[in-house]
């Protein structure tokens, strides 16, 4: 009986390791840079690295978000810590590649990020 308990414990340990490995892999995929990553973005705001709440706090940024994504205000509490690229897959098609490009163009037109 003890032998069968040992096998069951080994199986549970192996299953747990597989679950943890899968979770780590999924997390790595979720945090990987998306296709629309902006290497060296020098605009004030970047669609792939600036949290939406930071853009929202800037009057010009908020104006752009409301122009391009009018319903965004109702979701602000849930998405303010995320980037636009992170929210895009969950937006039901509202934030597609074309919209990200339009937002990037608007942010680029604002000028460079302030020097710190």
Q: Are 8 and 50 members of one domain?
A: no
Dig out the tokens for 97 from the structure: 């590649």
Q: Are 26 and 43 members of one domain?
A: no
Taking the CA atoms of residue 80, residue 84, residue 85 and residue 91 in that order, the dihedral angle to the nearest 10 degrees is 90
Q: Are 60 and 78 members of one domain?
A: yes
Would you state the pLDDT for residue 30?
Answer: 46
Q: Are 83 and 42 members of one domain?
A: yes
- For residues 91 and 87, give the distance between their C-alpha atoms in angstroms, rounded to a whole number: 6
Would you state the pLDDT for residue 17?
Answer: 56
Q: Are 48 and 91 members of one domain?
A: yes
Would you state the pLDDT for residue 60?
Answer: 95
CA nearest neighbour of 96 among 31, 27, 35, 26? 35
Domain that holds residue 106: 36-116
Would you state the pLDDT for residue 85?
Answer: 96
pLDDT 10s digit of each residue in the chain, 116 long? Answer: 555 555 555 555 555 555 554 444 444 444 443 444 455 687 899 999 999 999 999 999 999 999 999 989 999 999 999 999 999 999 999 999 999 999 999 999 998 766 54
What does the DSSP assignment read for 8-61? HHHHHHHHHHHHHHHHHHHHHHHHSPPTT--TT--BSS-TTTS-HHHHHHSHHH
Q: Are 18 and 42 members of one domain?
A: no
Would you state the pLDDT for residue 27?
Answer: 46
What does the DSSP assignment read for 49-108? TS-HHHHHHSHHHHHHHHHH-GGGGGGHHHHTTS-HHHHGGGTTTSS-HHHHHHHHHHHH
Q: Are 25 and 53 members of one domain?
A: no
Would you state the pLDDT for residue 4?
Answer: 52
Structurally, the chain folds into a number of domains equal to 2
Q: Are 65 and 103 members of one domain?
A: yes
Would you state the pLDDT for residue 16?
Answer: 54
């Amino acid at each position: 009986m003890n032998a069968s308990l040992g096998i069951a414990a080994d199986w549970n340990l192996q299953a747990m390791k597989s679950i943890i490995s899968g979770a780590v892999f999924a997390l790595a995929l979720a945090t990987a840079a998306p296709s629309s990553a902006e290497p060296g973005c020098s605009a004030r705001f970047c669609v792939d690295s600036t949290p939406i709440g930071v853009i929202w706090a800037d009057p010009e940024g908020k104006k752009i978000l409301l122009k391009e994504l009018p319903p965004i205000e109702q979701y602000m509490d849930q998405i303010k810590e995320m980037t636009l690229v992170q929210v895009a897959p969950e937006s039901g098609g509202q934030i597609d590649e074309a919209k990200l490009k339009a937002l990037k163009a608007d942010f680029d037109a604002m000028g460079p990020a302030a020097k710190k």
